[in-house]
Every structure is written in C-alpha cells, then in structure tokens.
Amino acid sequence: MKAVILAGGEGTRLRPLTLTVPKPVVPVVDRPFLAHQLDLLARVGVTEIVFSLAYQPERIQAVFGDGRARGLRIHYAVEETPLGTGGAVKNAEPLLDDVTIVLNGDVLTDADLPGALHAHRESGAAATLVLTPVPNPAAYGLVETDGEGRVRSFIEKPTDPSQITCDTINAGIYVLDASTLSLMPPRENHSIERVFFPALLRRGDLVRAWVHRGYWIDIGTPEKYMQVHRDIMDGRFKPRHGSPFNGAPAAWVSPHARVEEGVELTAPCFVDDGAVIKTGARIGPYSVVGRQCHVEEHAAVERAIVWANTRISQDATVSRSILGRHCHIGRRVHIDDGSVLGDKSMLTDYSRL
Ligand code: GDD
Ligand code: MG
C-alpha cells in the first residue's frame, strides 16, 4: 500500500512565508511540516509515498530527496500546471497500486490510521473518509453521514449558514480503492471534494465515514500555524519522533546554541542549533528561535515564531508574530499582534508594526 500526499497548493493564506518556503516544508518547531505526516504514515506501515507537487517542487524535493535517509521511498508526481486535489491524485495513479491513502499535505493529526484502514477493509467501502468534528465547520468541507456511518453528501466551504447541517468535516485523509480512480478524468483540473466524491456517491459506491475525535488541525493560516506550536509545546499534540515538550513544559535550548548569562527563558520555548541569545534578552513562552538566529541584548521574543538566520537587534520586541528567514529587525523595533514578515524583511531601528 502506498500513500499520496497532496502538497501542490500555493499556500496563499500563509504568504509571505510561502513565497520562498512551500507550506509542506514550513518548519514546525524543529522539522519540516511533512515529516509529521510521514510519521503518521509509518504508524500504518506505509513507507512508499508519492508527493504530489505543483508549487515550487524543487524546494520540497531538496528537503526529502528519495526518502532513503528516513527509511522511505519517496516518489514525486509533479504537475506542470496545478490539477486541483482530484487531478493531482489521478496524476499520481501510475505510481499507485491497490489501496491508497491520500493525505492533504497541511493537516497535523494523531488520527488512528490503522483503525481507519481496518474499518475500510471491514466495510468493503470503495472509499473511506476520515472526518473530524470542529466548532466552525464553514471554513472546511462539511460531510453529512447517515446513522450507520455512510457518507450522504458533501458541502464544500458553505457560504450560506443554512447549509451548515453538521459539524463533521473532511479531515483531508482518505482511503481509496484503486477501482475508484477510473472515475477521475485524466489530465484535467478537478477537485476531489467537489467533483470526485459526489461522483462516487452518484455511481452508488459505498463511501464510509470514519470519525476522528483526537487532535486535528489544518496549518493553512498564520493563526493556525502559531497554534500548532502552542499545541506541541503544551503537549496537546505529541510528535511521534519524540519532542522536548512531551512532559512538563520545557525551555528547550539546543546544546549547539549559545545563551549568555542573564538571559530570561520562560517555558515552554525552543531555541534551535546555532542560535545566539545575548545578555538581558528574554525568550518568553510559546516562542521558537530558529537556527543561527541572533537575539541581541535586552531584546524580547514572546509567543513568536522566528525562522532561521534572523537577527533581532538590541531592545527590540517581537511578540505574537511570525518572522521568516534572514530578517533584520533593527534596534528598539516593536512588532506585535499577528505580524507576518517574509524572508529577508528589514525593519529600520525604532520601527513599529
Ligand atoms: N498536487 C496538488 N495540486 N496539490 C494541491 C492542489 C493542486 O492543484 N491544490 C491543493 N493542493 C493540496 C494543498 O497543498 C493542500 O495540502 C491540500 O491539497 C488541500 O488544499 P487546501 O488549499 O489546503 O484546501 P483547504 O484547506 O481549503 O480545504 C481542504 O482541506 C480541508 C481540511 O483541511 C478540503 O479537502 C476540505 O474539504 C477539508 O475540510
Ligand atoms: Mg488546507
């Protein structure tokens, strides 16, 4: 059995970060996002994976290569122009065999994939969809089911409140039998949610729902991206590879970072390899200071995610924000409340944002 990871979207809602770092490889604490999905697939024994790419594929290939370093075989199905979530699966078809697991490449979850797969096989369904209940379903694809766990209808991103008839949404994880892929038009842009799944129902195929009630998040917006970090640091999501945040809240500093005397570190926070934190600086809770960053004297970082190679100069404050790589934040700059700066941003001394 193989898996397809849909990772070709442009990540528009995470711009400007995704202008240079595609969403599948944005860092989540200390590793590229998709590494978590590979862990999830390992739980169900899948070690051969097709990455379905369209946007900046070379940047993703550069991170994962052929997968051998992770004990995997990774193939790439690259679209010349984006084919949509359905066209992308069809494009990967020559690399697939009997049953395939399809994952949206931007969801982080501890869903029990072995359970979903078992349910799929037991029921004899053509497709099994993992659903999850969320408080604000309108931003997602709603999936209605009957009392016996059969999918009845799909309402993708409803615009009218009257269409919100359930709280179970498509969690972006599917188990598909090979027999279903013939319903997908080849080389044609189409949506798996809006076109393919409704077509399966019309054909009379059994489409089964498997409801996941544990951790689930789509990291597609800056707010969710920051929330993922809080969830990992609070232990609400436990990365499978082991995490410094699995137990009590930790102020985790890489042995390859340099933290000078008189620095205040408040847990939970994370300081990565090669970072330098100078005297009097403060690293507050829910902060990540990426590789090779410099946080100078009396600067403060709190509830902020700072990507690699960024410099935060003396007396600057960065809170509740995300900074890309190679930024230069001048002295006494103040950045607050949901600011998102792309790679190489420069803020002159005393700027306020
Ligand atoms: N290869 C490829 N080609 N991948 C694509 C393309 C494409 O043209 N378009 C989107 N993707 C990938 C994205 O990279 C992402 O990982 C995944 O498909 C889903 O696309 P999003 O753009 O993130 O969709 P969404 O979050 O608005 O909605 C989807 O996910 C929700 C759960 O997070 C839908 O599947 C909803 O039904 C679902 O509830
Ligand atoms: Mg998404």
Helix (H) or strand (E) holding 4: strand 2-6
Q: Is the CB of 27 under 6 A from ligand 1?
A: no
Instruction: Please state the rounded mean pLDDT for residues 233-252.
Output: 79
Q: Is the pLDDT of residue 87 over 80?
A: yes
**Helix, strand counts (H, E) of the chain:** 6, 30
Residue (of 43, 44, 53) closest to 74 by Cα position:
53
Q: Is the pLDDT of residue 104 over 90?
A: yes
Q: Is the CB of 141 under 6 A from ligand 1?
A: yes
Q: Are residues 37 and 149 in the same domain?
A: yes
Beta bridge partners of 277: 259, 295
Q: Is the CB of 305 under 6 A from ligand 1?
A: no
Output the average pLDDT for the chain. Answer: 94
For the record, the structure tokens of 266 come out as 């408040």
Q: Is the CB of 280 under 6 A from ligand 1?
A: no
Q: Is the CB of 131 under 6 A from ligand 1?
A: no
The dihedral region occupied by 209, where left means phi > 0, alpha psi between -120 and 50, and beta the remainder, is: beta
* Digit-coded pLDDT (tens) for 268-306: 999 999 999 999 999 999 999 999 999 999 999 999 999
* Digit-coded pLDDT (tens) for 53-86: 999 999 999 999 999 999 999 999 999 999 999 9
Q: In ligand 1, which atom is closest to the CA atom of 7?
A: 14
For 171, counting Cβ atoms within 10 Å of its Cβ (0-12 exposed, 13-18 middle, 19+ buried), the class is buried
Instruction: Please state the rounded mean pLDDT for residues 29-46.
Output: 93
Q: Give distance in angstroms: CA of 100 to centre of ligand 2.
A: 20
Q: What is the pLDDT of residue 303?
A: 96
Q: Give distance in angstroms: CA of 133 to centre of ligand 1.
A: 18
| Beta strand pairing call for 264-265 and 334-335 | unpaired
Q: Give distance in angstroms: CA of 6 to centre of ligand 1.
A: 7
Q: What is the pLDDT of residue 24?
A: 94
Q: What is the pLDDT of residue 177?
A: 95
Mutate which of 51, 52, 79, 104 for ligand 1 pocket (most atoms within 8 A of beta carbon): 104
Residue (of 34, 23, 8, 205) closest to 90 by Cα position:
8
Q: What is the pLDDT of residue 181?
A: 94
Ligand nearest to the CA of 24: 1
Q: Are residues 199 and 297 in the same domain?
A: no
Question: Would you say residue 233 lies in a domain?
Answer: no
Q: Are residues 18 and 131 in the same domain?
A: yes
Total domain count, the chain? 2
Q: Give distance in angstroms: CA of 10 to centre of ligand 2.
A: 10
Question: Would you say residue 337 lies in a domain?
Answer: yes
Q: Is the CB of 5 under 6 A from ligand 1?
A: no
Q: What is the pLDDT of residue 302?
A: 95
Instruction: Please state the rounded mean pLDDT for residues 22-51.
Output: 94
* CA distance linking residue 40 with residue 111, whole number of Å: 8
Q: What is the pLDDT of residue 162?
A: 86
Q: Give distance in angstroms: CA of 333 to centre of ligand 1.
A: 36
Confidence band for 163, pLDDT divided at 50, 70 and 90: confident
Q: Is the CB of 83 under 6 A from ligand 1?
A: yes
Q: What is the pLDDT of residue 127?
A: 97
Question: Would you say residue 265 lies in a domain?
Answer: yes
* CA distance linking residue 271 with residue 141, whole number of Å: 37
Confidence band for 250, pLDDT divided at 50, 70 and 90: confident
Q: Whose CA is nearest to atom 7 of ligand 1?
A: 84
Q: What is the pLDDT of residue 341?
A: 97
Q: Give distance in angstroms: CA of 116 to centre of ligand 1.
A: 20
Q: Are residues 114 and 159 in the same domain?
A: yes
Q: What is the pLDDT of residue 77?
A: 97
Q: What is the pLDDT of residue 30?
A: 87
Q: Whose CA is nearest to atom 19 of ligand 1?
A: 104
Question: Would you say residue 243 lies in a domain?
Answer: no
Q: Is the CB of 57 under 6 A from ligand 1?
A: no
Q: In ligand 1, which atom is closest to the CA atom of 218?
A: 33
- pTM of the full predicted structure? 0.93
Q: Is the pLDDT of residue 34 over 80?
A: yes
Q: In ligand 1, which atom is closest to the CA atom of 105?
A: 16
Q: Is the pLDDT of residue 247 over 90?
A: no
Q: What is the pLDDT of residue 238?
A: 85
**DSSP for residue 279:** T
Q: Are residues 254 and 215 in the same domain?
A: no
Q: What is the pLDDT of residue 248?
A: 67
Q: Are residues 36 and 173 in the same domain?
A: yes
Confidence band for 242, pLDDT divided at 50, 70 and 90: low
Higher pLDDT, 136 or 335: 335
Q: Give distance in angstroms: CA of 193 to centre of ligand 1.
A: 9
Q: Are residues 139 and 206 in the same domain?
A: yes
Q: What is the pLDDT of residue 261?
A: 95
Q: Give distance in angstroms: CA of 317 to centre of ligand 2.
A: 31
Q: Are residues 268 and 341 in the same domain?
A: yes
Instruction: Please state the rounded mean pLDDT for residues 176-184.
Output: 93
For the record, the structure tokens of 179 come out as 């027999």
The CATH number that applies at residue 316 is: 2.160.10.10
Q: Is the pLDDT of residue 31 over 70?
A: yes
Domain that holds residue 89: 2-221
Instruction: Please state the rounded mean pLDDT for residues 102-114.
Output: 96
Q: Is the CB of 142 under 6 A from ligand 1?
A: no
Q: What percent of the chain has pLDDT over 70?
A: 99
287: helix, strand or coil: strand
| Beta strand pairing call for 287-289 and 305-306 | parallel
Q: Are residues 216 and 255 in the same domain?
A: no
